[in-house]
Amino acid sequence: MTFLGKKILETITYGDVFDYPLKLEEIKKLLIASSGFDFKVIRKETFFLLAHGLIEQENGFYFLKGRKKIVNLREERKVFSQNKLTIGQKYIRFLKFFPWIRAVAVTGAIAWDNASEDDDIDWLVITAPKRLWVTRFCLGLTLSILKVRRSPNQKKSEAKDKICLNMFLTEKTLSIPSLKQSLFTAHEVLQARFVYQRFNARALFIKKNSWVKKYLFNGYSVGLGQVGLVNKEKTKEKRPCWLIEKPMDWLDSTFFLLQTSYMKNRKTIEVIERERAFFHPREMAKEIEAKRRKRFLDL
């Protein structure tokens, strides 16, 4: 097997962990490689793997041997995902009341069109500097009043279609920290579906996470092409009056201190910083990578 053939097989195996068969163009975009490969070469190598029985194909989707059932599953999950996007979109209109929110992106399975019926809706929220914690409080309160926020201790069976505020960044911390960088996170960055943005937030987010090239070179190149050049004029905002700015700075700092105090004896792997917060109680990247490696070795 060639180097590229192995990379294609690794890519299809990664998708299999999520019961997610891939189309040819998706294999190109999500190819696990630190250098670029042309679509024609990828197609030729994929057909070679198919001809030698290493993978199978149905309705344009490629998957591991004996996994034909995930083709229909992907179609079913696409319907669930689109429905959840529509549900989440209803609450986007409330974001205009928070001018310091720069963007909201749907992440996780919904961004892949791969959500199950009982999944919640994961939101990545990007804010202005020194506005992360006041945003989390105000947005959390709003969603709680609307009864659509997923609470930390809520079981998955009770979280269907609820909004999960599990990741916050500011314009100063758009790059994912090195300890969180992984193949799994690289997919999350590229697949993030921005449903609300101001001041070129998505373009800045993609450009600040150039480390993704180490894992998904083709995908990162596609992402750059989609966002284009950053218009510096559109990234500027009129500076608010200091009579408003200073009290807001103090309020944000207060909410941050309250959160760190609350999390002091509850923290596991969550990241709680003034300009960055990740509320993920499980180390998904390691779990997914272990599953991928095992499936690949079992081929």
Describe the chain by its helix, strand, coil percentages, rounded to 5.
50, 15, 35
Under 8 Å between Cβ of 265 and 235: no
**Are residues 92 and 60 located together in one domain of the fold?**
no
Task: State which residues of the chain have pLDDT below 70.
Answer: 227-244, 281
Rg, C-alpha atoms of the chain: 20
Domain C-terminal end among 67, 93, 122? 67
The answer to the question of residue 290 being in a domain is no
Looking at the 3D structure of the chain, how many domains does it have? Answer: 2
pLDDT of residue 281: 66
- Confidence (pTM): 0.90
- What does the angle CA 273 – CA 209 – CA 2 come to, to the nearest 5 degrees? 130
- Over residues 149-162, the pLDDT tens digits come to 998 778 877 889 99
pLDDT of residue 233: 46
> Could you tell me the residue range of the domain that residue 259 belongs to?
74-283
pLDDT of residue 210: 96
**Are residues 46 and 92 located together in one domain of the fold?**
no
Angle between helices 284-297 and 3-17 (to 10 degrees): 120
Angle between helices 183-191 and 217-227 (to 10 degrees): 20
**Are residues 196 and 241 located together in one domain of the fold?**
yes
Tell me the CB-side half-sphere exposure of residue 274, using CA atoms within 13 A. 10
**Are residues 54 and 79 located together in one domain of the fold?**
no
The answer to the question of residue 161 being in a domain is yes
Domain C-terminal end among 34, 51, 67? 67
